[in-house]
């Protein structure tokens, strides 16, 4: 079998395998099916051309080649109709007509003598005679192929993006292959009547195979993923590397055959091939030994970057990280010295943090200011040529910036190489990459240290808090449960941490869930919590936790036990009550003791003064007066101590005010005190008892009158808002001492010698019975002002104000 024939057979198998692989990638795609059909037809045509070179069954092989050639135009036309997109070019009618004509010419080629006949092999090559339909066959082929090329080029020009690159290779493969095949297998036979060079046409299939294969491998033509095994590429590379040895061997082979015996040829070939394959290994080993001896470091870029990246991601402690950087960079670069500077906030500059162990080259404690300014301005490597004087004095060859968040956070100062070699561009590229990774790692280490410190501080603070603290994540998992929370809930932190929030009591878990869902702060003023042995009252505040963008990351609940506060409040009220009764008893004893002393004195004198009628008359009047005094005192105490049983009704507050003014008018005139009233023209309706309100205003006016000097002034003003009526009584007296302001409403508290200390206490009782609030304050200039705020009659239903 001839070598050319073997080549064409192999080419046919390769093209057919290409078509089958494309079909296997996606058998459902029309583009894949038509491409596979085209490749198989071309493979059949190539097989027919190769078969007839054998010299036997020439007519059968020629009929096969003509039949396959007849089907190539409609196959490729169908392919470009659906690739890259299913379109309408050419028209369906034209496509169907080409398929019909192709099938017809293929059938005629296989069964008749209308296309060709009488093929014979001559010394100059194949010769055959053209049939009557051969010119029509040639015209059909050329027209259909031209239509195919026009559509293909149009698709290529209109394609955009990723689809254009593979189309360009398909167009190039189609143009080159078709030009060669049509020239040698159609036009030359048509013009000369001889087929001597038809074997050249299929050889252009090599171009088709290479271009289409390249489009598949590099540009994913038809989305076909073709991977070449690493071992195959190694074999191909080795074969290519042996070509320089093979070519001289072929060239000088005839001369060597004269002097070299036939048995020596295998040894020579094996020696040359083995030596050629061992040269790269021996060269690499020798270079490694010599580079190590000469302090040369030539790291493999990709493995070095991967190795250091992996190492940096495994270290979070900054000291360990800097130590790792120094060790790895020293091993990679082999410099005379290396130092790392990191920003020190205490001095506001880059301070030395680590130096290569065992190396001695000048390392100042702080990065020189001019170098730092250059780093901040250029954000790139500084070489000794750029800062020759300063870097040369320091013995530094390079300074690499460590930049994170667009800020210089550190720098790496590197000395010259021990080998004396300069830093080549590939060295600088590697060092820039490593510096960028180191900057990120140093920044992460700083942030990690800050987070650890913050977490420790938070944990210590939370652990010592008397309030319970519970935090959950956005997924509803418990992330924080302090000691106080354990004591208040009866749950153990180890048992609930990382558990769902529903393991908590509902009064704690439900607010946390709602705060995370709604993103709002929830306050629970007083809730009951079971702690396993009983219940207690707590107050809880739940807040959502957010990041800088406002997204909810979780929630935190802070709750405190109200039991101690409630006990303190109970004790305070009890103490106040005891103090109140003590004051009441003391005042009552004082007020009753004085008249009783007078009565007792007269009673002791009765046996000696029975005959003194005048004395007995004085005695009777004194006893009656003192008993009336005690009775009035008891009546006022009764008014102070019991709530009124009289019903409240709607009334205009101005009426009891005017009644009270009439009662004090004589006293005001006697003391020449001017009264200014501002009651307004509109009614001020309230719910209450008119007599009690008159007494309230009367007592306030008497109190103001008693503390106002002769010729002074008293102001009485009445105002109203949407919900309350406000009465103010102001005097022009000296005011109330600050230490007495909180006691003026206490029973029996008075600053006058003849006062009982019950007037203002009674006012407080009347105000409380009317759901009013009474307070006192000194005026900015002089005097005091008493304010009474009563609910407006329309602000509450009458049922609530009836006593």
Q: Is the preceding omega at residue 90 within 30 degrees of 0, hence cis?
A: yes
- Helix 613-641 with 759-769: angle, nearest 10 deg: 30
Residue positions counted in the chain: 803
Q: From 3.40.718.10, 1.10.760.10, 3.40.140.10, 1.10.287.130, which CATH number describes the 567-641 domain?
A: 1.10.287.130
How many alpha carbons lie under 13 Å from residue 478 in its C-beta half-sphere?
Answer: 23
pLDDT tens track for 573-631 = 677 666 666 666 666 665 676 677 677 777 877 887 777 778 778 778 877 877 876 77
Query: Taking 60 as the threshold, does the pLDDT of residue 478 lie above it?
Result: yes
Highest mean pLDDT among 98-112, 222-236, 296-310: 98-112
* Residue 685 DSSP one-character state: E
Query: Given this model, what pLDDT does residue 101 score?
Result: 93
Determine the CATH number of domain 3-227. Answer: 1.20.1070.10
CA distances from 565 to 462, 484, 485 (A): 21, 16, 18
Model confidence band, residue 234 (pLDDT cutoffs 50, 70, 90):
low
pLDDT tens track for 642-685 = 545 667 889 999 999 998 888 888 888 888 889 889 988 888 89
d(CA 795, CA 84) in angstroms, rounded, equals: 81
- DSSP string computed for 135-156: HHHHHHHHHHHHHHHHHHHHHH
* Token output for 521: 């702060």
197 or 213, which is more confident?
Answer: 213
Query: Given this model, what pLDDT does residue 544 score?
Result: 92
Query: Taking 50 as the threshold, does the pLDDT of residue 471 lie above it?
Result: yes
Query: Taking 60 as the threshold, does the pLDDT of residue 455 lie above it?
Result: yes
Q: Tell me the percentage of the chain whose pLDDT exceeds 70.
A: 83
Model confidence band, residue 108 (pLDDT cutoffs 50, 70, 90):
very high
Could you state, in order of their start, the residue ranges of all structural domains in the chain?
3-227, 232-293, 301-450, 465-561, 567-641, 649-801
273 or 677, which is more confident?
Answer: 677
Model confidence band, residue 294 (pLDDT cutoffs 50, 70, 90):
low
Query: Given this model, what pLDDT does residue 40 score?
Result: 93
Exposure string over 523-550, b if 16+ CB within 10 A, otherwise e: ebeebebebeeeebebbbbbbbbeeeee
Under the phi-then-psi rule, with left for phi > 0, alpha for psi from -120 to 50, and beta for the rest, what region is 532?
left
Per-chain mean pLDDT for the chain: 80
Helix (H), strand (E) counts: the chain:
27, 19
Closest residue by Cα to residue 514 from 479, 472, 558: 472
Q: Do the beta carbons of residue 633 and residue 756 sit within 8 Å?
A: yes
CA distances from 45 to 1, 38, 201, 490 (A): 19, 11, 10, 89
pLDDT tens track for 727-737 = 999 998 888 88
pLDDT tens track for 363-398 = 888 888 888 888 888 888 888 765 557 777 777 888
In three-state secondary structure terms, 408 is strand
Architecture of domain 465-561: 2-Layer Sandwich (3.30)
Query: Taking 70 as the threshold, does the pLDDT of residue 296 lie above it?
Result: no
**How far does CA 539 lie from the centroid of its chain?**
33
| Burial of 608: CB neighbours in 10 Å, binned 0-12, 13-18, 19+ | exposed
The CATH class that applies to domain 649-801 reads alpha beta
Query: Given this model, what pLDDT does residue 796 score?
Result: 43
d(CA 527, CA 540) in angstroms, rounded, equals: 8
pLDDT tens track for 323-336 = 888 888 888 888 88
d(CA 766, CA 693) in angstroms, rounded, equals: 7
d(CA 308, CA 200) in angstroms, rounded, equals: 56
- DSSP string computed for 220-234: -GGG------HHHHH
- Maximum alpha-carbon separation in the chain: 190
Query: Taking 70 as the threshold, does the pLDDT of residue 316 lie above it?
Result: yes
Average pLDDT over residues 505-526: 88
pLDDT tens track for 521-559 = 988 877 888 766 667 888 889 999 888 888 888 999 999
Q: Tell me the percentage of the chain whose pLDDT exceeds 90.
A: 9
Q: From 3.40.47.10, 3.50.50.60, 3.40.50.720, 3.30.450.40, which CATH number describes the 301-450 domain?
A: 3.30.450.40
Exposure string over 141-164, b if 16+ CB within 10 A, otherwise e: beebbebbbebbeebbeebeeebe
Same fold: 301-450 with 465-561 = yes
**How far does CA 367 lie from the centroid of its chain?**
36
């Amino acid at each position: 079998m001839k070598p050319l024939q073997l080549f064409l057979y192999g080419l046919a198998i390769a093209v057919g395998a290409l078509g089958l692989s494309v079909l296997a990638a996606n058998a459902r795609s029309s583009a894949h099916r038509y491409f596979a059909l085209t490749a198989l037809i071309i493979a059949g045509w190539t097989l027919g051309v190769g078969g007839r070179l054998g010299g036997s069954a020439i007519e059968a092989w020629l009929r096969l080649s003509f039949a396959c050639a007849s089907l190539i135009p409609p196959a490729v036309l169908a392919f470009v109709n659906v690739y890259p997109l299913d379109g309408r070019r050419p028209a369906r009618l034209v496509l169907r007509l080409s398929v019909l004509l192709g099938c017809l010419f293929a059938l005629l080629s296989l069964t008749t003598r209308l296309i060709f006949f009488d093929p014979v092999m001559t010394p100059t090559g194949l010769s055959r005679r053209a049939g009557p339909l051969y010119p029509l066959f040639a015209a059909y082929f050329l027209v259909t192929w031209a239509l195919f090329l026009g559509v293909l080029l149009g698709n290529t020009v209109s394609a955009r993006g990723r689809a254009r690159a593979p189309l360009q290779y398909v167009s190039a493969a189609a143009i080159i292959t078709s030009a060669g095949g049509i020239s040698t297998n159609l036009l030359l036979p048509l013009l000369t009547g001889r087929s001597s060079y038809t074997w050249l046409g299929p050889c252009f299939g090599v171009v088709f195979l290479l271009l289409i294969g390249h489009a598949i491998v590099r540009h994913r033509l038809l989305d076909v993923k073709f991977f070449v095994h690493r071992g195959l590429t190694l074999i191909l590379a080795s074969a290519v590397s042996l070509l320089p040895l093979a070519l001289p061997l072929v060239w000088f082979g005839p001369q060597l055959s004269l002097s070299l015996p036939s048995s020596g040829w295998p040894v020579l070939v094996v020696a040359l091939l083995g030596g050629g394959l061992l040269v790269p290994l021996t060269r690499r080993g020798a270079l490694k030994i010599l580079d190590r001896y000469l302090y040369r470091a030539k790291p493999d870029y990709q493995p070095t970057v991967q190795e250091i990246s992996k190492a940096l991601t495994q270290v979070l402690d900054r000291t360990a990280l800097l130590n790792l950087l120094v060790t790895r960079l020293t091993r990679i670069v082999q410099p005379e010295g290396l130092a790392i500077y990191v920003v020190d906030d205490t001095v506001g500059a880059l301070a030395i943090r680590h130096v290569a162990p065992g190396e001695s080259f000048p390392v100042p404690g702080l990065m020189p200011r001019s170098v730092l300014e250059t780093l901040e301005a250029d954000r790139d490597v500084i070489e000794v040529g750029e800062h020759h004087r300063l870097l040369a004095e320091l013995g530094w060859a390079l300074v690499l910036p460590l930049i994170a968040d667009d800020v210089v956070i550190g720098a790496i100062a590197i000395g010259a190489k021990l080998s004396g070699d300069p830093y080549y561009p590939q060295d600088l590229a590697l060092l820039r990459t490593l510096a960028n990774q180191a900057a990120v790692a140093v920044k992460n280490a700083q942030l990690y240290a800050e987070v650890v410190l913050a977490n420790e501080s938070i944990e210590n603070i939370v652990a010592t808090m008397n309030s319970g603290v519970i935090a959950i994540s956005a997924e509803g998992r418990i992330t924080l449960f302090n000691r106080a929370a354990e004591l208040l809930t009866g749950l153990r932190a180890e048992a609930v941490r990382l558990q769902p929030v529903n393991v908590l009591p509902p009064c704690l878990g439900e607010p946390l869930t709602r705060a995370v869902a709604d993103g709002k702060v929830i306050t629970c003023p007083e809730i009951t919590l079971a702690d396993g042995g009983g219940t207690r009252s707590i107050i809880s505040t739940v807040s959502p936790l957010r990041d800088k963008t406002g997204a909810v990351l979780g929630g935190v609940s802070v709750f405190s036990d109200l039991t101690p506060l409630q006990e303190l409040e109970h004790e305070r009220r009890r103490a106040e009550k005891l103090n109140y009764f003590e004051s009441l008893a003391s005042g009552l004893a004082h007020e009753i003791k004085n008249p009783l002393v007078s009565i007792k004195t007269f009673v002791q004198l009765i046996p000696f003064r029975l005959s003194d009628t005048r004395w007995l008359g004085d005695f009777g009047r004194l006893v009656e007066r003192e008993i009336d005094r005690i009775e009035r005192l008891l009546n006022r105490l009764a008014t102070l101590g019991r709530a009124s049983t009289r019903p409240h009704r709607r009334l205009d507050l101005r009426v009891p005010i005017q009644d009270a003014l009439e009662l004090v008018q004589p006293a005001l005139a006697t003391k020449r005190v001017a009264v200014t009233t501002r009651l307004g023209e509109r009614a001020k309706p309230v719910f209450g008892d008119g007599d009690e309100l008159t007494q309230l205003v009367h007592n306030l006016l008497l109190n103001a009158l008693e503390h106002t000097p002769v010729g002074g002034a008293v102001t009485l003003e009445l105002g109203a808002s949407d919900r309350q009526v406000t009465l103010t009584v102001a005097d022009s007296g000296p005011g109330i001492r600050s230490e007495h302001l909180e006691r003026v409403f206490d029973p029996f508290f008075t600053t006058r010698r003849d006062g009982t200390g019950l007037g203002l206490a009674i006012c407080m009782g009347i105000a409380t019975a009317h759901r009013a609030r009474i307070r006192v304050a000194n005026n900015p200039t002089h005097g005091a002002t008493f304010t009474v705020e009563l609910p407006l009659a329309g602000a509450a239903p009458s049922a609530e104000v009836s006593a």
